[in-house]
Amino acid sequence: MAADGIPSAHVLPSPTRGGEASYVSNNIHFLANVNAQLNYGKQTIPNTRLIGTLTEFFADAVRATLRNVAISIVGSQIVSSSGDDLEEQVAIEKDVISRPDLANGRLNFKKVPRDENALIAIFFELVGKGHLTGYHFYSLSQKARYDGRASIAQRNQVSVPIPGSDNDLRNVEFKLELNDLIDDFENEAKMPNEISLAIVWDDTLKPETTDYQVIDLEHSPDRDRGMQGVEKVLHCKRHNRMIQLLVLNDITANLSQDVSASSLMN
């Protein structure tokens, strides 16, 4: 790392945060010249934030370069069913009737979801029955990078915006567990700054998770731009990104409480 052409004592660390970058040894050489000055009489740059930003840039650049080079040489990996996949398939297909009931029977989908398809079905039933409003979907795909493209109304909007082009649509991701989405971020299968809304069933994070945090919408910069039904956001600390969360477990639980309250009143 150099400051205005003068080499400094700072050395960019090898990126080791998972994925392709964990295989990097001493095979990549990178010189960065930044607009800064060294400490007087020393070889260090006093701006620690600048050093951190450059370190993150280098790590991201290495991962992106390795991925593009690898694909051009060996092609993309063909995914086949493994023993774990078959075991998960059996778990999803059995014991359907004995699963916990959903929303005290207020929905046509009767059981707690065990896979992403069930989660999607529950979401669209909530929209169709008017429990969630302000969501206009224009596409859903299992092959695209992100599950859905939608136009969504926010608190500060009186109606759902009409998109003039694809660029006006928001990327939406469905995940049974929020941890699965974080795994996609860490593997760079998906990018936090490209997602506006994550629709999940369970928003509980693993205890070892440090770079991500679930916080209340009202305590976030998005408090005046919240989507209907959203009460939480995912704070992606390394990316300085807030992703609104629609937690269907919470929403259906509120429906159950409404049914119980109505029964008591009657």
pLDDT of 82-104, one tens digit each? 566 666 666 667 788 999 999 99
Please tell me which residue, 236 or 18, carries the higher pLDDT value: 236
**What mean pLDDT comes out for the span 94-116?**
92
What is the per-residue pLDDT for 10?
84
Q: How far is CA 116 from CA 65, 68, 79, 122, 202, in A?
A: 31, 29, 19, 10, 12
pLDDT of residue 113: 95
Domain assignments of the chain as residue spans, ordered by start: 2-74, 99-265
The mean pLDDT value for 133-161 works out to 95
Tell me the average pLDDT across 44-58: 84
Band of pLDDT at residue 61, cut at 50, 70 and 90: confident
pLDDT at 151: 98
Token pair in block for residue 154: 């926010």
Answer for the pair 65, 29: CB distance below 8 angstroms, yes or no: no
Query: Higher confidence at residue 208 or residue 173?
Result: 173
Give residue 16's pLDDT: 59
pLDDT in tens, 141-153: 988 999 999 999 9
Task: Give the whole-angstrom CA distance, residue 114 versus residue 44.
Answer: 53
Is the pLDDT reported for residue 192 higher than 90?
yes
High-pLDDT (> 70) share of the chain, %: 81
What is the C-alpha to C-alpha distance for residues 193 and 236, in angstroms, rounded to an integer? 9
Query: pLDDT value at position 261?
Result: 47
Lowest mean per-residue pLDDT among 82-91, 124-133, 158-167, 233-242: 82-91
pLDDT at 62 over 70: yes
| CA 199 centroid distance within chain | 9
201-211 tens-digit pLDDT: 999 999 999 99
Give the tens place of pLDDT for each residue, 208-255.
999 999 999 999 999 999 999 999 999 999 899 999 999 999 999 998
- pLDDT attached to residue 184: 93
Cα(150)–Cα(172) distance, rounded to whole angstroms? 7
User: Which residue, 150, 173, 171, is CA-closest to 162?
Assistant: 150
Average pLDDT over residues 113-130: 96
Range name among 3-17, 147-161, 198-212 with the lowest pLDDT average: 3-17
pLDDT at 21: 54
